[in-house]
Amino acid sequence: MGIGAGRTRDAAKSIRDRLEPEERARVERTVAQLLNLFGKAHTMAILSAFAFAEEPLRFSDLEERLEVPANTLSERLKELVAVGFLRRESYDEVPPRVEYEPTEKCRGVFPAFGHLHAWAIEYDLEGATE
């Protein structure tokens, strides 16, 4: 198993097993919603860009870094703002400037990107197509 994967899994299982039934059901619903959000086209690529960014990002920054159609990028950013993962700051300038910055809630999932990169150092995804 990868870097600490078994230890992390066991710790998560132990915590989950100690939850009261109602809380466990709530947590499982939230995880399902989170996975649904992450499963939408380009969401993970967008979040990964924020995970490794040192400053807020503009729409144009994301457009340059990612191969995401503008309408899809716009929709995903709206969704990420709506769920509280990103903060949108609009500046009264010409041309208009809008920046996006991850919230604390969003930063809480950033370690997952470190785990994914560590996994990719150790493994390949055989048979995957782009």
Q: What is the pLDDT along the chain (130 residues), one digit of tens a residue?
A: 344 555 678 888 899 899 999 999 999 999 999 999 999 999 999 999 999 999 999 999 999 999 999 999 999 999 999 999 999 999 998 888 899 999 999 999 999 998 898 889 999 888 777 6
pLDDT of res. 129? 73
- What is the DSSP-derived secondary structure letter of residue 4? T
| Whether 43 contacts 61, CB under 8 Å | no
SS3 87: strand
Q: What's the CA gap between 51 and 126, in Å, rounded?
A: 26
Written as six digits, the tokens of 129 are 């197509």
pLDDT of res. 6? 58
Topology given in CATH for the domain delimited by 42-121: Arc Repressor Mutant, subunit A (1.10.10)
Give domain limits for the chain. 1-39, 42-121
User: Residue 77: CB partners within 8 Å, gap ≥ 6?
Assistant: 46, 59, 62, 86, 88, 100
